Amino acid sequence: EVQLVESGGGLVQPGGSLRLSCAASGFTFSSFEVNWVRQTPGRGLEWISYISTSGRTIYYADSVKGRFTISRDNAKNSLYLQMHSLRAEDTAVYYCARGSGFDSWGQGTLVTVSS
């Protein structure tokens, strides 16, 4: 069974940092592109980053470019999102989603940026 499990969310102060992880199982992780998507009640679903199978091709949404870094470790079947300079508007549930078709999603991890 395909599984994606996010972790690392929590409460962080504005300007702080957080690292999210997404553990994959049930499929050959190294064969799939992966994405981070976030969701807020006010802004719906927002794609924020993509990484290719090898990790050599990466894209970011303008809203996080320069502050967030996506990476992956195929040996550990894991995807990461390093977040710096966090703002209140980064408060959201963060999902990892598999493939260019977003065909499988994790349950999400909540990030709250607040003082």
Partner 1 sequence: DIVMTQTPLSSPVTLGQPASISCRSSQSLVHSDGNTYLSWYQQRPGQPPRLLIYKISTRFSGVPDRFSGSGAGTDFTLKISRVEAEDVGVYYCMQATQFPRTFGQGTKLEIK
Q: Which spans of this chain sit near partner 1 (rule: CB under 8 A)?
A: 35, 44-47, 50, 59, 61-62, 95, 97, 100-108
Burial 80-110 (b: 16+ CB within 10 A, else e): bbebeebeeebbbbbbbbbeeebebebebbe
Q: Output the six-digit token pair for 9.
A: 């969310």
